Amino acid sequence: MIEKRIAVAAAPATIFRIYQDVEHWNVWDPDTRSAWLESGLVLGSTGRLTPTRGRAVPMQVTSLEVGRHFTVSSRTPLFRIDFEHELIPFWCGTKVVHRIRFFGLLKGVLARLLGPGIDAGLPETLRRLKALAEAKARQGNAGLPA
């Protein structure tokens, strides 16, 4: 498992609205070229994510509590990767936690091949998410979907 955290001076609802804007994940996640979910960020929705390096992979929303957390899983017959996003409210904002877990027959191989890049990239992803969320909070969430 890979896990990174950051404190953000914005409400969980503000951050979750950024997550709901799936087609713009690449704005705050430099490792994502494009993302798409057929029904949006709702439980069971399926789609594709194209990393900046590599081929598009299928994804499905496998866990969701609006305003609190969601998990997107990429699955093949030989492996599954879960991308967990958790929002923990605290007195001056939100603690944002991103976790990546590997499962299946290729778990060890994927962890060795993909793990170091994910581990190195997550801090920048969280810094960009923080900057975007705090800017939206200062603007009163202007321009975000309801």
Q: State the pLDDT confidence band at 141, using cuts at 50, 70 and 90.
A: low
Residue 2 contacts residue 119 (beta carbons within 8 Å): yes
Start-to-end C-alpha separation, the chain: 33
Tell me the pTM: 0.91
Residue range 75-100, pLDDT digits in tens: 988 889 999 999 999 989 999 999 99
Q: State the pLDDT confidence band at 2, using cuts at 50, 70 and 90.
A: very high
Mean pLDDT computed over every residue of the chain: 93
- Topology of domain 2-136, per CATH? Alpha-D-Glucose-1,6-Bisphosphate; Chain A, domain 4 (3.30.530)
- Give the start-to-end residue ranges of the domains of the chain: 2-136
